[in-house]
Amino acid sequence: MSPLQFEQILGQDQVLARLREAQARRRLPHAYLFVGPEGVGRETVARAFFWRLLCVQEKACGECPSCRKFLKGLHPDVEVLEPQGKSIKIEQIRALEAKLHFRPLEAERRLVLIPQAELLTREAANALLKSLEEPPPYTLFVLLAQTTEALLPTIVSRCQVVRFRPLPREVVKRLLEERFACLPPEAEGLSFLAEGSIGRALRLAEKGFLQEMERVAATLKEGTPTRLVTLAEVLAGMKENLPVFLELLLVWWRQALYAYLGLETYPVSLPEPPPQDFLVPAMEKVERLFGALERHLNAEILFLATFSELSRLWREALGQATEIATESARTA
For the beta sheet containing 110-114, the strands, ordered from the edge strand earlier in sequence to the opposite edge, are 78-80, 110-114, 139-145, 31-35, 160-163
Cα distance between residue 259 and residue 241, in whole Å: 28
CA distance 51 to 22: 15
Q: Please, are residues 205 and 224 in contact by the beta-carbon 8 Å criterion?
A: no
pLDDT of residue 331: 58
Name which of 84-98, 108-122, 198-212 the model is least confident about.
198-212
E-strand stretches of 47-189: 78-80, 110-114, 139-145, 160-163
Residues 6+ apart with CB under 8 A from 293: 242, 243, 299, 302
252 pLDDT more than 80: yes
Average pLDDT over the chain reads 91
> pLDDT band at residue 206, thresholds of 50, 70 and 90?
confident
- pLDDT for res 330: 58
pLDDT in tens, 115-167: 999 999 999 999 999 889 988 889 999 999 999 998 999 999 999 999 999 99
Per-residue pLDDT tens over the stretch 3-57: 999 999 999 999 999 999 999 998 899 999 999 999 999 999 999 999 999 999 9
Q: Position 332: which residue type?
A: A
- Report in angstroms the alpha-carbon separations of 153 from 38, 125, 332: 21, 11, 66
The DSSP 8-state label assigned to residue 7 in this structure reads G
Bridge pairing between strands 110-114 and 160-163: unpaired
Whether 167 and 198 have beta carbons less than 8 Å apart is answered as: yes
Q: State residue 284's pLDDT score.
A: 95
